[in-house]
Structures are given as C-alpha cells and as structure tokens.
Amino acid sequence: MDHDIIVSGGGIAGLTASAAFASAGFDVLCVDPAPPITARDAKGADQRSTAFLQPARQFLIDIGLWDRLAPFAAPLQIMRIIDAGGPEAEARMSKEFDASDISELPFGWNLPNWLLRREMSAHLEDLPNVTYRTGVGANTLFTRTTEARVGLSDGTRARAHLIIAADGRGSPMREAAGINVKTTRYGQKALAFSVTHELPHENVSTEIHRTGGPFTLVPLPDFEGKPSSAIVWMEEGPKAKALAEMSVPTFEEAMNTRSCDVLGHLTLNSARAVWPIISQHAEQLSGERIALVAEAAHVIPPIGAQGLNMSLNDLRALLDLAVARPEGLGDATMLDAYHKARIGDIRMRVAGVTMLNRTSMLSAPPLRDARAAGLNALYSFAPLRKSIMQMGLGAKG
C-alpha cells in the first residue's frame, strides 16, 4: 500500500486532517490542485477568518497544532448581537453573551484564514509521515473492499486504505463516489475583508442584523499598531456585487453606515473577497473506502462560527474511530460508524443556521420588529441563554 490515508484538499480542513492522522502515526498523502496562498496581500488570499471554539482548540492542542497558532489568535470573550432593523441604520437593541457565564475560557479564538494555511502548511512540512503535494489534485476514484485507488491530475495514481474528501463544496471525490447532496440557495453573497478601527474591540465579536444577512465584526490582533477586525458582510447577491465593485471611499462610507459605529470609524485594510452563501449537506458521509468531511460533507452560512468547528468535529470522530481500531482503517464498519456518529448533529446544525440566516435576511419592518422581540426574549430567560451558548460551543441539545 502506498499510504494509509489520502487527503483530497489542502484547505484548512484538509491540512488539519493531515496533521491529525499523522499525529496518530498514520502515513498520509495530502494533495491539493492549487498551491496555498500564504501572504496577506497576495492575489487570491483568503480574507476570511476562522473562530476556533473551545472544543476545536482542544482538538488542535491534542494533534500538536495549537502551539503554532496561539501567538496569532485573538480571543473571543463576548458575543454581541445587535438589532438595527429600525427605520435608520442604528443599533436599537444590543445583547451580550459573555463566555464567563458558562466557562473560565473565552468562547473561541479567531485567526485569519491565509495565516492558518501558512502555519498549517509549514507544520505538515515538518512531519515525517506526511507527503504534502500542491499543484496536484485527486480526480478519479476506484474502490474495492480492501483499498482505494486515486487518479491524480499529474497522471499518476496512489493507493490507500482510506480516502478523506476535504475538497470543498464541489468535492471531486464525493462526486466520484456517487454521493448526492441537498442544497439550499439564498440569493446571498458574503463580502470578506478586514479593517482597522478607532475603538478597541475588547475581544467582543459583534453581529449586526438589519436586512440581507448579518454584518459580523470578529476580533483580530492589532494591525500596524491599530485595533483590527475581520468582517463578513452578507447581502443579497446584486447588492454584494455592487459593494465589491465600489471605489474604496464609497465602500468605506457604506460599511461605516452598516456598522452602526460600534467600533468608531472603520478603515478598509485588505482586499474584498466575495463568496456565495448556501446550505448543503451530503446524504451520506461515507462510501466504500471514503469519508466526507468539512465542506465536502456540509456547508452553512457564516453565522455563529459553526462551519469549521463542525468540520473539526468530523475529524475528531473519524480519528477516534481510526485509533480505536487501526486494523480496520477505512473498512465498512469504521465508515458506517462515522456516518452514524455525525449525521444527526450535522442535520440539526444545518437546519438551525438556515433558520437563523433566513431570520437575518428579513426586510419587512414588522418582521424585523418580531426578530428584535425574539432576541430580547431569548436573552431575558437566563437558562435558555446559557443553553444556547453551550450548544454554540458544540454541546448536543
């Protein structure tokens, strides 16, 4: 056998999967058709950020990645939700969910995606049992009960006991395995960029709801001596396109209006990237000799920091099964158990985030008033508020 595991995809989930299984002693080949863009200002750099919630951070500690990431992480102590659904774009209700109500640790820690790829790629290069190949993708899949064979884009082939598809929402390996997906489209897109601002963020992540989707500011470490945050701005598709094409001064005027001045004046300090917003989940999380993880398995709108944290839950479940029975790596017993362990939680969270996203898109004033009343009711009932926070961290409801 060429390798124990082949990981298709070199995004954050694929890099984490490679590090996780290598840390457990498995021989891993990780392939990705595109070299990672690991500089903040490089063309095509991923301007999004990722908030690792408490369970995700513990997983990164367990697999030896967190020490490399910790110096760049901004803690998220408070999650603030603002309703700005009145006649003017201004905060009319603000509620704060403080991690100290349920834990001695912050809710999570936020890092830029381009930096994560830089540090994780470098980590893989240091691991003797990982072969990390960029510019090469996994195109074809042939499986039998004892092994899988993958055809690579450079014309070569590789064999393994297990294929991990971490190759995104359009996963070539998922398609090759014949696994169907269910997709919901919202007519939304998200702009991702970073800013500096006048006021310190004080480790508060803020979601501002008006129409079209949330405008979310997530703390980053200071940039050139100034407070900095990552922003994800969700809007109806045509509006998002128009925003992305605005001149910088016009765009800054629009984003400052939309931010309700919660951090003072915002100044754009990165490129603007645009991402389509969908919900999607695979009907099966596994097939013969293949496991789907991350966006190959599920895609959700960027609300509540659930996306990549769900992905790391996939990896934790898959790794636990592999370590418990290494002789059965990739067999039907292991992969059936993986599907059963994850599918219920995935369906619940996809449905929950879909509901929250539709609520955030409301444009009719009476419905926006109802949204504000719902937020107030949720916050006012302390047991429910704590339960929601615990579920956000990954506890099963």
The per-residue pLDDT for range 176-196, each reduced to its tens digit, is 999 999 998 988 999 999 999
Is residue 219 within 8 A of residue 74, CB to CB? The reply is yes
Mean pLDDT of the chain: 89
383 has a pLDDT exceeding 80: no
Give 42-58 pLDDT, tens digit per residue.
Answer: 888 888 889 898 889 99
Amino acid in the structure at residue 271: A
> Containing domain of residue 284, as a range?
3-37+114-183+278-358
One-letter amino acid for residue 58 of the chain: Q
- Residue 23 domain flag: yes
Domain-located, residue 66: no
Q: What is the DSSP string of 277-336?
A: EEEEEES-SEETTEEE-GGGTEE--S-TT-HHHHHHHHHHHHHHHHHH-GGGTTSHHHHH
In whole angstroms, give the CA distance from residue 98 to residue 31: 40
**Do residues 301 and 357 lie in contact, with contact meaning Cβ atoms separated by under 8 Å?**
yes
Average pLDDT rounded to a whole number, residues 87-105 = 81
Residue 133 pLDDT > 60, yes or no? yes
pLDDT of residue 23: 96
* 229 contacts 195 by C-beta, under 8 angstroms: yes
What percentage of the chain reaches a pLDDT higher than 90?
Answer: 67
Does residue 295 lie in a domain region? yes
pLDDT at 396: 46
Torsion angle of C-alpha atoms 386, 74, 351, 394, degrees rounded to 10: -50
pLDDT surpasses 60 at 316: yes
CATH of the domain at 21: 3.50.50.60
Place of tokens 């049992």: 129
Tell me how far apart the alpha carbons of residues 79 and 76 are, in angstroms, rounded to a whole number.
7
- Residue 346 domain-assigned (yes or no): yes
Distance in Å from the first CA to the final CA of the chain: 42
Taking residue 43's Cβ as centre, other Cβ atoms within 10 Å add up to 7
Token pair belonging to 8: 């298709």
Number of domains in the chain: 1
Asked if residue 330 belongs to a domain, the reply is: yes
Residue 384 has a pLDDT of 46
- Decide if pLDDT at 305 tops 80: no
Position 353 pLDDT exceeds 90: no
pTM to 2 decimals?
Answer: 0.90
Residue 394 lies in a domain: no
Q: Is residue 286 part of a domain?
A: yes
- Pure H helices in the chain: 12-23, 54-62, 66-69, 113-125, 172-176, 237-245, 248-258, 307-324, 332-360, 365-380, 382-392
Q: How many CB atoms lie within 10 A of CB 220?
A: 23
The whole-angstrom separation of Cα 168 and Cα 228 is 29
Position 379 scores a pLDDT of 52
- Confirm whether 299 is domain-assigned: yes
Q: How many other CB atoms sit within 10 Å of the CB of residue 71?
A: 9
